Chain A
């Protein structure tokens, strides 16, 4: 029955069936497996992918479990085909997923842009590994933060979430499906080889803990339906999927509200792209997800995400024990960027350290947002090496104007 988008509940029988297949309520899982579990609990019924370390376990888990739940698992010939099939499946009405790592994520970029342009809900798990190129296949990295944001050509917005634990791999993948439907946009779950491969305790969410955002269907007759016209403040148009007699026209070309191409009209292009961007940025506050610790009286702070946050929190706790007013801001929602949280922090503290497993990516975005009174330093670690707590605490204690400590370089 067509109706407005909204958080409804998954039907209980489906939930129970999924739980039966997943087994124990509490288990000890790898992050990649937890992503697969999160997807199934989100109602994912289509997966297409291509094997790649360190993401393969997501595919393998789904290959085993999806047939038992009536879903479709397809191994495609490459990652370009995988994301293409995922988009096609979404237009066929399914909740669809692919999982990959750097090389595959690079191959997907053109079609991720297509998903943004055609407003196709879908989820991409990117278990980041060390690059560029084939790099260090088994080593974790956070090198795709900017590629996630800017990897396809043209202007667009993307939603990205960065879990830091196996439990969050499940929770964030589940959430990603709901956000994809709510905003009619691809959502990227940005884990890394460390989070993806480590094992931790996971507790399956209870039935009433699971939100289920249903796809918003048109309420008007096919003749009156404009698939790319926003009908309310959300700017997200209802989506008539294929096979529902709406005869929907979908293209990656610049299009009118009807979906039909219009390729040399600057006004139409500006209108379309502005809406696609604003339907995300207008909801920046709702899409902001952070973890804040020790910030109330903080004088220096670390801004961190993913696996690095586990180490950073340890460092901050140690400093607190030593009486240092150190704070911790963890970004869970990466894109759209949680601007307000970062700006506010920058106004309160004199120094921000940004440890990343890359040579400095989100640090640039952070620098743009904070006032000059706040010193922002990158703290890179590449090669698959997760930071040590002592590196982070010593960076937090180091005034940038004073000489750099041995073995550390600020970018």
Chain B
């Protein structure tokens, strides 16, 4: 990812201003700074699609992001109130926003390193509270922005710049963790599954309580350079060939699932949401305070 925008954008880069989703973007920030073949653009498209399908006015959305390429998916491109925060802390910032503005949709998009690594504790506790936030964790199996170091989701055995001989750590199953912690909705998709992904995003946004979609997305540059998968399609082929629906996965043993990407809905519940309960305490207290 290049952070500077000193080059003039190619003439046709954001030409299609009639595109249905174009209106959601901050025109002055285009083109995006994502590398060629990066999955981040696909996620941005799927997200805008989800918002559009919901007819959700952007004025009713607050985007909260962390630090990393994935955090740049909505920020600065998606035109809503946006809090681009510090590395790992998006969920904690989002908690303050949601508690004080419960009428807004508060949506977090950030990377695997951000949300499951440095921010892992916030993830567990936000899910446990079941606070009405929507979280899209873009899992590209590495710290992309800093040049491809191993992250908590890097597959065991993979080469990265900080596991140059091979990664000895097993990856964190972030979606399963969030499901176990108490979230109301958890699913996992990849950038190969664009339509189900957009649908899941749409569903997650409308679902009350903590909703979490893990999006496996390619980083052909920082990650790809080390594992010799240098184009976006190398990854899309891999996602196609190794993904398996959760319904089928349930029939398989743990060994059979090694190296498989399990996609679909992991959990859905209707447990009561945190902010509602917090304000219930208030109304009980103000009822018999005097």
B81 close to A93 (CB less than 8 A): no
Residues of B within 8 A of A84 (CB): 85-86, 89, 92-93, 95-96
Instruction: Classify the secondary structure of A's interface with B.
Output: mixed
Is A174 interfacial (CB 8 A cutoff)? no
A89 close to B100 (CB less than 8 A): yes
A247 close to B80 (CB less than 8 A): yes
Is A92 interfacial (CB 8 A cutoff)? yes
Q: How far is the CB of B101 from chain A (nearest CB, A)?
A: 4
Is B251 interfacial (CB 8 A cutoff)? no
Look across to chain A and name the residue whose beta carbon is closest to the beta carbon of B89: A84
Residues of B within 8 A of A20 (CB): 290
Stretch among B10-18, B191-199, B261-269, B277-285 lining the A interface: B277-285
Give how many A residues have a beta carbon under 8 Å from the other chain's beta carbons.
Answer: 49
Q: How far is the CB of A64 from chain B (nearest CB, A)?
A: 9
Known contacts A68-B289, A263-B3: A93-B85 contact under CB 8 Å: no
Is B155 interfacial (CB 8 A cutoff)? no
Residues of B within 8 A of A260 (CB): 26, 28-29, 76
Stretch among A74-82, A279-287, A332-340, A347-355 lining the B interface: A74-82
Is B109 interfacial (CB 8 A cutoff)? no
A243 close to B81 (CB less than 8 A): yes
Is A377 interfacial (CB 8 A cutoff)? no
A239-259 to B contact mask, C-beta < 8 Å, 1/0 = 000110111111111000010
Residues of B within 8 A of A151 (CB): none
A72 close to B3 (CB less than 8 A): no
Is A139 interfacial (CB 8 A cutoff)? no
Q: How far is the CA of A245 from the CA of B289 in the complex (A)?
A: 36
User: Which one of A46, A81, A114 has the greatest number of beta carbons of chain B within 10 Å?
Assistant: A81
A57-78 to B contact mask, C-beta < 8 Å, 1/0 = 0000000000111111010111
Is A96 interfacial (CB 8 A cutoff)? yes
A243 close to B121 (CB less than 8 A): no
Is B48 interfacial (CB 8 A cutoff)? no
A79-114 to B contact mask, C-beta < 8 Å, 1/0 = 011101111111111101000000000000011001
Is B230 interfacial (CB 8 A cutoff)? no
Known contacts A242-B62, A264-B4: A111-B96 contact under CB 8 Å: no
Residues of B within 8 A of A88 (CB): 64, 83, 92-98, 100
